[in-house]
Structure 1
């Protein structure tokens, strides 16, 4: 019997939102336009600097460029907000459809299986896990796509200007990715442990709340509460320990990746002083 090939996580998410693909695609297009508009002020600043180097002093020469920069910023706000609204609308519609499909499937599960499974497990799937997909649907799909396409265009543009400056601008990205890969090497194991701790807590909470009347009747409140409290403390302790171990690499790559000037300024200055880099390209 042939095993079915598993799709990529992103492909699986996309298939779950099939009924709302139109909204997701429109949201992605708007997000791309928003990020593109965000880049316009930077090109306007370059234009202003070039005019200053050329000795331009007339205010009328700078006004149109400033208005274009303002229009770019306004476009970024408009398109980004519209993208977010549409993606959230599509995301919550998708979550509704997923919950309906899970409940429909649950109705076909044998009663023995349902009785043998803690109610907290069903609550965790129907409420918590599906709710956790809101971020991938509403943010990952539009924002990841837009934040990848536009930077790719910028990288190509940098290589067209000067390949040496392009490599210098990418240096911190490569260093940051190396640090990130070190921090993520145990993610699968730690993530599975986090899900197990959360499931144990959810089962304990639902069991405690559902059986509280019986517990009181038989004076077993202390023991039952202890089991519930231990599960909650265990879940919190696991996440605190996991986050504490992740902070070093997380803070490091968040500090390194945006620090492009650390490589661009000294490297660009050296090339400019040697005469192999034009002033406007450096700017």
Structure 2
């Protein structure tokens, strides 16, 4: 029986989603007659250590994955469960995403005092978010809001809503769903208002590229539609070389076409942090790489590359 050591960040959300993955993999292994057992290894990443600075100012890519990937390369762990939105575009040599499971709800959501909606927030309301993408789109929709930076894990940000006088905070719905806290959500933000970040709601399960045992097991956990949508979104991000310093998002939906194939529909956004300029595009196609490049190129024609360059992307 093989013992599989699973690396994870130590936040409540990271541990919860990792344990959910492990339970599903146990079922898959049992049904396939694969003998294995799992153990957890908690790893602190640079992004977890730096909590008093906004993500856009910390800079760099892979803030929440580099230490975990190094543990994989060193053989200290056999697989890792990442939030796919944290994964940098450039892949680490020697590692592979063995599975992209079924995606959770990709939308952003609002948690507010008094359980009010975005339109019901008073003028000048204090809204907390760690994301320039969310901030830009909220300010474009409601420029009267006072959007402020708020860092920390999902549970600490919920505490700050109550303790630090915020009227609302914006979080990924997927995290609240996985924690069993749907009842805290005041409103789901439509992508028409706030396009999600690339791969939000999706998990990426990573292993060593030469570990045939893990690749076989994880391959049984792949969700084809999720993988297709995430590939298109990440291609868009990579083509523009965007990062957390840039208000940038993309959201792809997979639909069955009349010929029995798959069609992707994707919306994307690039903007300035104050929301004064948002470039949005929409496209459709069957090839995720071509679709990602198409939307990126459309945005470059409208000046997205200049916005990214000015912001240091």
> Which TM-score band (shorter chain)?
under 0.3
Larger radius of gyration: 1
**Alignment TM-score, normalising by the size of structure 2:** 0.23
**Which has a greater percent of strand?**
2
Larger relative contact order (CA 8 Å, sep ≥ 6)? 1
**Alignment TM-score, normalising by the size of structure 1:** 0.24
